[in-house]
Amino acid sequence: MATQNIEELLRAQDDFLKSSAEASVTERIHKLKKLKATLKTQEQNIIEAVYKDFQKPEFEVLTTELFVVYKELNLFIKSIQKWSKPTSVSSDWLNFPSSDKIYHVPWGKVLIIAPWNYPFQLAITPLIGAIACGNTVVLKPSEHAPHTAEVLETIISNVFEESQAKVIQGDVEIAKRLLEQKWDYVFFTGSVPVGRIVSQQIAKHMTPHTLELGGKNPCIVDATANIDIAAKRIVWGKFLNAGQTCIAPDYLLIHDDVRAEFQDRLIATLKTFYVDKAFKDYTRLIHRAHFDRLTSMLNNERILYGGQSDSEENLLAPTLVDAPNFSSPLMQEEIFGPILPLYSYTNFDDLQATIEAFDKPLSLYVFTEDKAFSERVIQQFNFGGGVINDTIVHFVNDKLPFGGVGASGLGSYHGKASFDTFTRKKAMVHRKTWLDIPIKYPPYTRVNLFKFFLNLFR
Ligand code: NAD
């Protein structure tokens, strides 16, 4: 799309925002219901599109792309009327008499840039929040999942006028062109390096934004952990979507006492889930460049299990690697694929030395039956969110804000957190006129009286 057309579209979105009737909460609920009805009719197309993009099994599309989206839609349809009402807060006695309220107002024109790894869900979930809150949206899906991007465009153009929401497909060049415009809010999901570029680009307009990024998520297996359950839940969370999940465990830290037993369980579980089934329920890597990047990361590493690959299919088998050097490519960046490094540890100092060697992660997981230990881990390390005795499942609870910290992201969303992200809090004091205490007006004759008040605060 040419810059001129983008500018025209944004003028139309501005006009939409000015027409309050179009943007009323009732009208938005109507649109969310229409979106839900359209999703139902498009389900099969979504399943097929995601499969064409990277052979994601139908079950995973139903659970990780569709179910969470319906949940978010239902929640907003049910709650947006209530959440949108101005919130009364107690007034300050200095302003007596007054009544004070917080109005939850839309930001305006929102740009959403989405990644390819959950190409439907990560594009549509922020759109639901943004639209429900009264914003307009331009959504740029990832160019690396083109079939899903096509279905997204069909769905959005069926439900919304362009002046309310529009999908613009394209690559980095179109993303850059979009970022040159003046937005009221930018919601970016993607890699840390691109997140950095995005925040630099929008800094010139000082645009408020959310960055949903990635990082190296540690996963600790303590000596008290339930080994069988831990192995299953780690293999599931890591190798779902072939490890192409922002919150997948990036590396394991296993207590020395259980290392051998746990490693055996991991391998047995991998065989049962994927290898013995000829990788039937196993997503492929998104494209050849990603395949090449991941397979080359295995050069010079000690492979404990897996490592087989098929470039025709962009398939890399689940692979366990023994304690890569921190300076190796595997540990210099987020792995974002089906390779899992295993480290052993003996005490808390070892955990600290490893986890704190990297930027603050998006997620952290700890498998333990020792409550004091898990509390210490939560208090000690800084990370976006996490789970005790499972992986990635914090994502599904829409009552938990989802987001990173430091290099893993800025801001959060999902459920009420999405409402808070896509609205601005407008603070209003309504002063009454039946009383007007003159102390604040010049000439200042009541200095001593105010000093008396001040003493109450000193
Ligand atoms: P990416 O950063 O390469 O691309 C994301 C989006 O940004 C795409 O739409 C792409 O076209 C666009 N883009 C690329 N270069 C750009 C530029 N220079 N300027 C503006 N836009 C640009 O990420 P990806 O490869 O699609 O996704 C994988 C990454 O996303 C991983 O790092 C993963 O951890 C992260 N991720 C984070 C979350 C989260 O919720 N925190 C979820 C999924 C993925």
- Ligand 1 atom closest to the Cα of residue 214 is 34
- Whether 68 and 190 map to the same domain: the answer is yes
- The domain tally of the chain equals 2
First to last CA, the chain: 61
- Whether 32 and 166 map to the same domain: the answer is yes
Residue 73 lies in a domain: yes
Ligand 1 centre distance from Cα of residue 320 (Å) = 26
CATH of the domain at 172: 3.40.605.10
CATH of the domain at 399: 3.40.309.10
Residues 47-74: tens digit of each pLDDT: 999 999 999 999 999 999 999 999 999 9
- Whether 254 and 173 map to the same domain: the answer is no
Residues 317-352: tens digit of each pLDDT: 999 999 999 999 999 999 999 999 999 999 999 999
- Whether 187 and 247 map to the same domain: the answer is no
- Whether 274 and 361 map to the same domain: the answer is yes
Per the CB < 8 A criterion, the answer to whether 221 and 254 are in contact is yes
**Can you give the pLDDT at residue 114?**
98
Tokens 């990277």 sit at which residue? 54
Mutate to test the pocket of ligand 1, among 113, 172, 194 (most ligand atoms within 8 A of CB): 194
Query: Distance from CA of residue 143 to its chain's centroid?
Result: 19
**Can you give the pLDDT at residue 22?**
59
For atom 16 of ligand 1, which residue has the closest CA? 172
Ligand 1 centre distance from Cα of residue 278 (Å) = 30
What is the rounded average pLDDT of the residues 443-448?
A: 92
- Whether 112 and 228 map to the same domain: the answer is no
Q: Select which of 65, 246, 301, 334 is catalytic.
A: 246
pLDDT confidence bin for 2, thresholds 50/70/90: confident
Instruction: Indicate the burial class of 200 (C-beta count within 10 angstroms; 0-12, 13-18, 19 or more).
Output: exposed
Residue 125 lies in a domain: yes
- Whether 58 and 91 map to the same domain: the answer is yes
Please give the residue range of the domain that contains residue 132: 3-213+409-425
Residue 441 lies in a domain: no
For 29, the token pair is: 């609920």
- Whether 178 and 84 map to the same domain: the answer is yes
- Whether 34 and 143 map to the same domain: the answer is yes
- Whether 198 and 236 map to the same domain: the answer is no
Residue 31 lies in a domain: yes
For the chain, the average pLDDT equals: 96
Residue 439 lies in a domain: no
Instruction: Say whether 133 is catalytic.
Output: no
pLDDT confidence bin for 21, thresholds 50/70/90: low
**Can you give the pLDDT at residue 386?**
98
Residue 431 lies in a domain: no
Q: Provide the percentage of residues in the chain whose pLDDT is more than 90.
A: 95
Tokens 């009364």 sit at which residue? 88
